[in-house]
Amino acid sequence: MRFIRVDPISFDEDEIRTAAEIIRRGGLVAFPTETVYGLGADALNEKAVRKIFLAKGRPADNPLIVHVSDVDEIHRIAEPNRVALKLIDEFFPGPLTLVMKKKKVVPAATTAGLNTVAVRMPSHRVALKLIELSETPISAPSANRSGKPSPTRAEHVAEDFGDEVDIIIDAGKTEIGLESTVVDTTVYPLEILRPGAITKEMIEEFYEVRDVKKAKIARSPGMRYRHYSPSADVIVLVGDSFKEEMIELAERLEKSGKRPGIAAMKSSDISGFPVYDLGESLEDYAERLFDALRSLDRICDVIVVEGVEEKGIGAAIMNRLSKAGKIYRV
Ligand code: TXA
Ligand code: MG
């Protein structure tokens, strides 16, 4: 596996060219986006797409997101309706994925046999340049092994994969830290299949959005599987006096022979346990969450995490935590 380090903003096109050639030849490239690192292959090459599923250990019935670098490319692979076109206009490029009717050029392996395709135009310059130089849309799931927290640093990708990946483009930490919002535009009211940094509130400025019932989640097959799980148990505490409760819980766990760790915002007053600071704002929290889970997982067997209010990006944070562990209101 090769590793190339680039500046996320002022890189040279030639630094990306080798990786683009690998995509064109049907190989696997791990690359940064503004959300998390992706594990990319030529979306229109069935054999290349199969390699993604193999490397990740991903069930074949879980479709991939197809990444494009311009609007024309969207029309090549999908049939956006009026609503999708408006959302593209408002939010692309950015951390939003739209499920639309698919065109025939997209192989069944990419969409797991569905007649829809999920499309996203990332805003990360390195990702856009890679897609452009590859001259093909790139299908990419998050570059973690199935079940592990998504990678927000190139080191996370290297941790999960060995030689299955041909090259990793390292552009440092990702800015947002949680995967894109997935919206189904083939139904109205629209349905958010996965919450993210483009919030329900932001989409509701334009269209009606319905909360997706658990049963419907089947439409986004990925949401059925266990996710974001470190090997350690994850206990999430939500409420008013959670800080004291977190420390008390950690103390109890330690007495029972466990090795607890704590992930909390503004955590400077917590001591006596391994602590990962989740920052001052919900944006800091989102950016750091997956690294916190991975880091504490190395030294702890139980991770006690501060929960947040399910508003704005808080909804996405709580969605990921609910998949990583158990949530308790205190
Ligand atoms: O931020 C992101 O979206 C990252 C970066 C790399 O772009 N990618 C990512 O991909 O998170 P992945 O494969 O980990 O998650 C894709 C989600 C899954 O829950 C999948 O089931 C859903 O999107 N999805 C993909 N195609 C779909 C489709 N046609 N209909 C419904 N859901 C779909
Ligand atoms: Mg994923």
pTM of the model: 0.95
Q: Are 42 and 110 in contact (CB under 8 A)?
A: no
Q: Mean pLDDT score of the chain, rounded to an integer?
A: 94
Q: Which residues contact 35 (CB under 8 A, 6 or more apart)?
A: 95, 122, 174, 176, 177, 178, 179, 180, 196, 197
Please name which of 260, 256, 271 lies closest in space to residue 301, comparing C-alpha atoms: 260
Residue 221: the pLDDT is 62
Residue 148 Cα, ligand 2 centroid: separation in angstroms?
8
Of ligand 1's atoms, which has the minimum distance to the CA of residue 102? Answer: 29
Q: Are 98 and 183 in contact (CB under 8 A)?
A: yes
Domain ranges of the chain: 2-211, 233-329
Please name which of 197, 166, 195, 199 lies closest in space to residue 182, comparing C-alpha atoms: 195
Q: Which CATH code fits 233-329?
A: 3.40.50.11030
Q: What is the pLDDT of residues 131-163, one digit of tens each?
A: 999 999 999 999 999 889 999 999 999 999 988
Pocket lining: 42 vs ligand 1, CB cutoff 6 Å: no
**Residues 197-219, mean pLDDT to the nearest whole number:** 82
Which architecture, in CATH terms, is 2-211?
Alpha-Beta Complex (3.90)
Has residue 225 got a pLDDT over 90? no
Pocket lining: 194 vs ligand 1, CB cutoff 6 Å: yes
**Residues 306-330, mean pLDDT to the nearest whole number:** 94
Q: Is there a common fold for 2-211 and 233-329?
A: no
Has residue 242 got a pLDDT over 90? no
Of ligand 1's atoms, which has the minimum distance to the CA of residue 120? Answer: 7
CA-based radius of gyration for the chain: 20
Residue 215: the pLDDT is 47
